[in-house]
Amino acid sequence: MSDLTRETLVINMGPQHPSTHGVLRLILDLEGEVIAGSEAVIGYLHTGFEKEMETRTYHQNIVFPPRIEYLATFIEEQAYVTAVEKLLGITPPKRAEVIRVVLAELSRIASHLVWLGTSAIDLNVSSVFMYCFRDREEVLDIFEMVSGQRMMHGYFRIGGLQWDLPDGFVERVRGFLDGFPGRIDEYEALLTDNLIWRQRTEGVAVLTPDDAIRYGCTGPILRGSGVDYDVRRAFPYGGYAEYEFDVPLGTRGDAFDRYRIRMEEMRQSRRIALQALQRLPGGPVMVDDRKVALPPRRELVRSMEAVIHQFKLVSEGIHPPAGEVYAAVESPRGEKGYYLVSDGSNRPVRVRVRAPSFSNLQVLPVLIFRRYVADVVVAIASIDIVLGDVDR
Amino acid sequence: MPDDPVAAVAGALGDSVLERVEFRGEVTLSVSAEHLLGALREAQAAGFIFLTDLTAIDRHPAEPRFEVVYLLTAPDARARLRVKVQVSGTDPRVPSATAVWPGANWLEREVFDLFGIRFDGHPDLRRILMPDEWEGHPLRKDFPLVEEPVQFLGHTPNVPSDIIPKTPPRQS
């Protein structure tokens, strides 16, 4: 028996294991059931988005962000258009900003629900998965109502939004948000005081604050270790400085803390979305700048200038000034940033996607070192990676 | 903790800053490759504890061809700083930042994979996103963007459509 425990066994998890939340391959060195070393192998979902974006105009590139990270689609679009707007030096109208905040916070709720459901399935609580997807479906229906698409919306535009909200939007969102706290309470009742859930997550996949910072972790995994860094607070964008919300922090940095933080973040997202609905101003949803936004259709029959602007924007696109900017948003997984380099032409020289999942996944070997194989599943679930975001 | 960590870093680095650019409120400091690690340590001590991003830009056909870009974040002072180092196109090499931030490990592997820039002192410099047997570095400007050949009979790879051609910067 003693020989068995000393021998190192190399096994592969994935690339298609259900608990890897995508196409991730994990190489584990096992001593018995204890992990002596591990390596995450990524790239199975690499699609070359950054290269593609260099070859298209700024407006055409709006289609890519929600495909990079397909669980928090509006937050992705927000990250990209915020970066281009910073490059252009423009701010969208107030109404557009507030609508973006509502949709971004609903996206956060939808993304955390997917995380909760799939994590619960990893730990064999399959009923929670059904409930979470039921709620997420309601959010996606709202998205469809606004943009026509459940996921790959293309609704955010450089300088504003594609069109104004449909009738009945505010009531529908309120209807969802009113019933939402009761549902979170139900899920917490199923999990927080569940002995098996607690034993599987408490003290598992522990990350110290120092390691979290040195590895560049962001999002719930960083805040779970007690480091107070939320992009919405530290570098407010899109009017987030005007909203009241709490940033929940963990103390022990384990999987249970991350679970508690995400549950609380859903409640805070609801709080922000309700404040946004409360203050939703009237007015246009697109910036009034003919070098950025298409002229309204009714002007085209009256004004030659409008026709020229329309023609130039459609045939060439926007020409931002030469320079480089980095704009980040707080995605459900952490700091999502776009680094744009422009030479003044109608296409970016470089589009770099700062992916939170990439940095967060890198810390996985630290989380599972000297732990049991069963904890690997908990660790992966608690990081909440999206492989599309890791590989881009 | 200094009030303005960006100014503190720029001051501490003194003459080793080759160029200071400010655009839209973001400060970029260019340093030479031999001063890079010193500059990063200096920034880390000044409060820039996060290596938020590490990437590169290909300026082909200009020379020096590459720029390696380090984006640093100081969460307490709510400041960001970009540090740049220019690298020649022939045998591009930069010292590795893995000793300062272990999180630089994968980021540097990605830059090596997609740009072919080598990081001296990196513990494990291998491809990370592309297959191990891949030839070339896809994010280089001279790497063509064409459809990958597929192992099907009768399939001819297409060049992606070029509906909106690239137009030069406008004269204002």
Domain match, A36 and A90 both = no
The upper half-sphere exposure of residue B9, i.e. CA atoms within 13 Å in the direction of its Cβ, equals 32
Please count the structural domains in chain B. 1
The residue written with tokens 């059904």 in the block is: A130
Please count the structural domains in chain A. 2
CATH number at residue B85: 3.30.460.80
Whether B167 contacts chain A with CB within 8 A: yes
User: What is the chain B residue with the closest CA to A227?
Assistant: B75
Using an 8 Å CB-CB cutoff, list chain B residues near A325: 23-24, 26
Quote ipTM for the complex: 0.87
Whether B108 contacts chain A with CB within 8 A: no
Specify the pLDDT at position A288.
87
- Tens-digit pLDDT profile for residues A24-79: 888 888 888 888 889 988 888 888 899 989 888 999 999 999 999 888 999 999 99
Position B82 in a domain: yes
Does A325 sit within 8 Å of B26, measured CB to CB? yes
- Tens-digit pLDDT profile for residues A286-322: 998 888 888 888 888 899 999 999 998 888 889 999 9
Bridge partner list, A353: A338
Q: Which domain holds residue B43?
A: 5-120
Domain match, A13 and A152 both = no
Bridge partner list, A341: A324, A350
Domain match, A252 and A108 both = yes
Domain match, A37 and A53 both = no
Position B96 in a domain: yes
CATH number at residue A187: 1.10.645.10
Q: Strand B93-95 vs strand B118-120: parallel, antiparallel, or unpaired? A: parallel
Position B17 in a domain: yes
Nearest CB to B129 within list A42, A56, A228: A42
User: What is the chain B residue with the closest CA to A49?
Assistant: B139
Domain match, A148 and A286 both = yes
Position B172 in a domain: no
Q: Which domain holds residue A26?
A: 2-41
Domain match, A142 and A33 both = no
Position B132 in a domain: no
Nearest to A98 by CA among A238, A288, A244: A238
Maximal C-alpha separation, chain B: 66
Position B163 in a domain: no
Domain match, A37 and A128 both = no
Position B110 in a domain: yes
User: What is the chain B residue with the closest CA to A311?
Assistant: B164
Maximal C-alpha separation, chain A: 89
Domain match, A7 and A100 both = no
- Per DSSP, chain A holds a count of helices (H) and strands (E) of 18, 8
Position B152 in a domain: no
Q: Residue-wise over A100-114: b if at least 16 C-beta within 10 A, else e?
A: bbbbbbbbbbbbbbb
Domain match, A6 and A63 both = no
pLDDT in tens, chain B (172 residues): 456 888 888 888 888 888 888 888 899 999 988 889 999 998 998 889 999 999 999 988 888 899 999 999 999 889 999 999 999 988 899 999 999 999 999 999 999 999 999 999 999 899 999 888 888 898 988 887 776 666 666 666 566 555 667 777 776 5
